[in-house]
Amino acid sequence: MWMLILTSMALGFGLGWTLRRHRLSLDGLTGPLVWLLLFLLGAEVGANDDLVAALPRLGGWAALLALATATGSAVMAWWLTRWAGMRKGGDHAR
């Protein structure tokens, strides 16, 4: 699995570098591919009877924990943004 992903990235990087003077862009593909992956993740969750059965009991705590850990990470990233000398939101690296 990891070899496949790394090989895909290496091939993509190599081809992108080779064709860097052409106008070809694959940016339009990424959105639909993420949607496809979300659909497949949803199908995996929906087909898992144990997971669906546990949702009423554990779903609320799971959602709260995800929100708390995501917010904690985002706050630390915001702090790092300031400490590293970047402006919030702006400041593309030069």
Partner 1 sequence: MRGSLIAVAFFAVGVVCGRLDVLPGAIAAGGVSTAALCALMFAVAFGVGREPTSLVRAVQAHPRLALLPVATIVGTLAGSLLLALADPTQTAGEWCAVGAGMGYYSLSSVLISEYRGPELGTLALLANIARELLALLVAPLWYRLFGRLAPIAVAGATSMDTALPVCVRYAGRDYASLAIYHGFVTDASVFFLVTLFVG
Please report, as residue ranges, which positions from 64 to 93 form the binding site for partner 1 (by CB under 8 A).
64-81, 83-86, 88-89, 92-93
With tokens 């081809």, the residue in question is 15
15-44 footprint of partner 1 as x/- string (CB under 8 A): xxxxxx----xxx-xxx-xxxxxxxxxxxx
| Smallest distance, partner 1 to C-beta of residue 25, A | 7
Residue 56 is a binding residue for partner 1 (CB under 8 A): no
Q: How is residue 88 annotated by DSSP? A: S
| Smallest distance, partner 1 to C-beta of residue 18, A | 8
Buried b (16+ CB within 10 A) or exposed e, 21-45: eeeeeeeeeeeeeeeeeeeeeeeee
